[in-house]
Amino acid sequence: MVQQAKTIILGAGMSGLGAALASHLPAYEATCRPGGVCYSYYLDFDGVLRDPRHQDVSGCFRFEPAGGHWMFGMSPDSLARMEKFAAFRKYNRQAAVYFSQNGLLVPFPLQDNLRYLDKPLRDRIVAEICFDRPVNNSESCSLKDWLLYNFGPTLCDLFFFPFNQRYSAGLYTDIAPQDTHKSLFDRRRVLQGASENTDDRGYNSVFYYPGAGLDYVIRQISAECTIHFDFAVSGIDTRDRNVFFSNGTRMSYDKIISTIPLNHMARLCGIDVGSQADPATAVLVVNIGAVKGTSDFSPYQWIYLPSSSSGMHRFGFYNHVDSSFLPMNYRNRADIVSIYAERSFSSASPLRMEERSSASSAIVAELRDWGVISEPIVVSSTFTDPAYTWSRRGSTWAQHAIRCLAEAGISQIGRYGGWRFQGMLESFEQGLSAGRSTILEITRQM
């Protein structure tokens, strides 16, 4: 079957939904639901998946497939746009670094809260950061080099190196520094935080979440879009401009707005970029509803880990953000928690189901050992690949791939389409912008 189309949108994640909403053009989604990795799902105490559209979920845990999925960087205008679809609640970040060897919790960012460390250690770190800085004479340094230059060897060995080793699945020694706004560096704040409180800053120090759940927002947005589900792309002929879908449909196009991961899109189009694709990491998220353990991690919403036998680099408490993540009858109680934990893997080495199960079990066991949980009630895992995208030092692969695709009438947008870190709000607004631009272009051609 051949369908005729002029401009189509591939993918109905946040950026695809934004493009479809602004342009009124159809979006073709590979799965059976919108939102990409941005949605919520509900499990009852028996681990049975419940659908809030048709079933009562008041007795369920609410989980996110990609862990804590919050909206940050919300301007008044963007908040007004999002509140057309749902009411949002505003939160202040409460994060910490957990040193499991001695049970020490240090507020995040670590470099701004050195007063929690022993004085000799603190003094050495302050001296290295503020007074004994090495010369950075390389314009193409690695993320590891960048961390060492900014934070010194002691703090890097204590936290930044072991954390990023697991967070990047070992890539941090080779990839270029990126998303450096996640690790703020301010000498004045380092010095102040070594002896007194500092105000919390950072790209996500204030964030938002819809009171009715992320799934509700996605449903409200998608209700105003035209979305065709179960349309996975199997190939694209850029010469004759045809898209082939795995359901047997073939569709002609003049232009595509694509949210498909950049490496996959280059492969689907058969485009030779001329260099090795930049790497990505996948993330296993283990969602757990459990009886609370003996250790108190309140009020922290997420915890960064410099060491972990299970390989996880972070875990967090959904219910420390909002009690609505818990079953209705437990929202005023302190003995039940809703938790997510994350572990990274290289996208170059797909994770088999038995490996995923083993990794999930190890994470649950370690959380029990630490007293985070006592007895798990429900355990559910998801696997996102890619989850984080990276660039090799000196690589121009992403820019070249995007340019080659643009020459074939394909515009890459979104976190994975553009191969860059951005939150779901930025992805949605990028989609809105792409949709508006497309409509203007179509109008001019009429």
- Residues for the chain: how many in total? 446
Give me the number of domains the chain comprises.
Answer: 3
Kindly give the residue spans of alpha helices, DSSP state H, lying in 95-245.
119-130, 143-155, 161-167, 187-193, 214-222
Do 290 and 427 reside in the same domain of the chain? no
Do 165 and 180 reside in the same domain of the chain? yes
| Any domain includes 357 | yes
Of 347, 368, 389, the last residue of a domain is: 389
Of 389, 410, 426, the last residue of a domain is: 389
Of 193, 227, 246, the last residue of a domain is: 193
CA distance 295 to 297: 6
| Any domain includes 206 | no
pLDDT at 131: 77
Q: Which amino acid is at 222?
A: S
pLDDT at 182: 60
Handedness of CA 164, 169, 170, 175 (dihedral sign): negative
Rg (CA), the chain: 23
Do 177 and 304 reside in the same domain of the chain? no
Do 377 and 330 reside in the same domain of the chain? yes
Q: What are phi and psi of 86, to 5 degrees?
A: -170, 160
Do 253 and 383 reside in the same domain of the chain? no
CATH of the domain at 255: 3.50.50.60
Do 405 and 330 reside in the same domain of the chain? no
Relative orientation angle of helices 424-445 and 14-23, to the nearest 10 degrees: 30
| Any domain includes 403 | yes
Closest CA to 114 of 104, 129, 126, 99: 126
Which H helix or E strand runs over 387?
strand 373-389
| Any domain includes 350 | yes
Do 385 and 285 reside in the same domain of the chain? yes
Let me know the angle formed at the C-alpha of 324 by 318 and 327, rounded to the nearest 5 degrees.
95
| Any domain includes 203 | no
Do 269 and 398 reside in the same domain of the chain? yes
Range of the domain at 187: 110-193
Do 238 and 366 reside in the same domain of the chain? no
Do 283 and 358 reside in the same domain of the chain? yes
Q: What are phi and psi of 83, to 5 degrees?
A: -75, 0
Which H helix or E strand runs over 227?
strand 227-228
Beta strands in 229-372 (DSSP E): 233-237, 242-245, 250-252, 255-258, 280-292, 302-304, 314-317, 336-346
143: which 2 tokens?
């993320």
| Any domain includes 366 | yes
| Any domain includes 7 | yes
- Name the pTM for this structure: 0.94
Closest CA to 146 of 190, 193, 181: 181
Residue with tokens 């909206």: 71
Do 385 and 283 reside in the same domain of the chain? yes
Do 384 and 288 reside in the same domain of the chain? yes
pLDDT at 2: 47
List average pLDDT for each run of 10 residues in the chain, which is 446 residues long: 72 97 96 94 96 95 92 86 94 95 94 96 94 64 92 96 97 86 75 85 82 95 97 97 96 96 96 91 97 96 97 97 96 95 91 92 98 97 95 94 96 96 92 93 78
| Any domain includes 236 | yes
